[in-house]
């Protein structure tokens, strides 16, 4: 699957939009910790956009940039491949782990932050949105506001985006999708059926496995502008 390091981003295409972490309108601000130690922790992902149950989702691309196009059925069918960052961060104001979806044009800013602030997770930043809701030219300013001794071990464990916010699909799954317009039900997607009486119908259900985690809040301090 096409996971790539930050310095390989130019070998993949596309610019992306917002993700699970978002600031809704102009001058909205949030305090966060980036869940990285440094630039070596930064990974990008090559993905295709698909529709699942009427919603837009990302699916993993199966092809490395130097592999034949037939390696990935979606690439073979000329479905656009996009280079994405799913930056893990801890939103201090909301007390939850989130992913900030960014395109590869954001990589220089992120690597600059990593270089300027070693042990990145120990720094608290404010992210400020510059642009009204729906503005396609929106930019973000990032300011350091505090520093402490926090380590990654003190924070929620970072989940691999592949298999969670990125659908992890096989070549056979992709072929099925291309033929039918949806993925075959497998694992948690498959309905679970119970024994029913003649007057009852089998009822599928979903199991919520989400675990909430939290960490301490950190007061603000000085502001350095990028």
pLDDT tens per residue across span 94-132: 999 999 999 989 999 999 999 999 999 999 999 999 999
Kindly tell me the burial class for residue 47, based on how many C-beta atoms sit within 10 Å of its own C-beta (0-12, 13-18, 19 or more). Answer: buried
pLDDT tens per residue across span 182-209: 999 876 554 433 333 333 333 333 334 3
200 domain residue, yes or no = no
- Domain residue limits at 50: 3-182+216-225
DSSP-assigned states of every residue in 74-140: HHHTTPPEEEEEEEEEEETTTTEEEEEEEEGGGHHHHHHHHHHSSSGGGEEEEEEEES-TT-TT-EE
| CB of 164 closer than 8 Å to CB of 42 | no
187 domain residue, yes or no = no
pLDDT (0 to 100) of residue 12: 39
Quick one: DSSP state of residue 160?
P
Element (H, E) at 43: strand 43-52
Residue 223 DSSP SS3: coil
146 domain residue, yes or no = yes
65 domain residue, yes or no = yes
pLDDT (0 to 100) of residue 139: 94
196 domain residue, yes or no = no
Using CA atoms, how far apart are residues 223 and 226, in angstroms rounded to an integer? 10
207 domain residue, yes or no = no
Residue numbers in the chain where pLDDT is lower than 50 = 4, 6-19, 190-222, 225
pLDDT (0 to 100) of residue 186: 72
Using CA atoms, how far apart are residues 166 and 50, in angstroms rounded to an integer? 11
| Total domains, the chain | 1
151 domain residue, yes or no = yes
Give the pairing type, strands 3-5 and 43-52: antiparallel
- Dihedrals φ, ψ of 138, to 5°? -60, 140
Using CA atoms, how far apart are residues 75 and 68, in angstroms rounded to an integer? 9
87 domain residue, yes or no = yes
């Amino acid at each position: 699957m096409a996971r790539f390091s930050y310095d390989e981003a130019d070998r993949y295409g596309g610019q992306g939009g917002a993700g699970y972490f978002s600031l809704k309108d102009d001058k909205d601000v949030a305090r966060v910790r980036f869940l990285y130690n440094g630039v070596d922790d930064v990974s990008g992902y090559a993905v295709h956009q698909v529709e699942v149950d009427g919603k837009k989702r990302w699916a993993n691309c199966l092809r490395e940039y130097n592999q034949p196009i037939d390696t990935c059925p979606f690439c073979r069918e000329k479905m656009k491949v996009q280079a994405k960052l799913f930056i893990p961060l801890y939103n201090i104001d909301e007390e939850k782990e989130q992913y900030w979806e960014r395109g590869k044009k954001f990589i220089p800013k992120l690597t600059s932050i990593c270089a300027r602030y070693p042990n990145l997770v120990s720094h608290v930043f404010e992210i400020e949105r510059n642009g009204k809701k729906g503005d396609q030219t929106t930019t973000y300013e990032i300011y350091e506001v505090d520093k402490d001794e926090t380590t990654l071990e003190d924070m929620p464990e970072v989940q691999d985006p592949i298999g969670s916010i990125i659908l992890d699909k096989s070549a056979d799954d992709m072929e099925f999708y291309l033929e039918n317009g949806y993925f075959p039900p497998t694992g948690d997607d498959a309905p679970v059926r119970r024994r029913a009486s003649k007057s009852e119908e089998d009822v599928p259900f979903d199991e919520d496995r989400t675990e909430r985690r939290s960490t301490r809040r950190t007061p603000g301090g000085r502001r350095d502008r990028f």
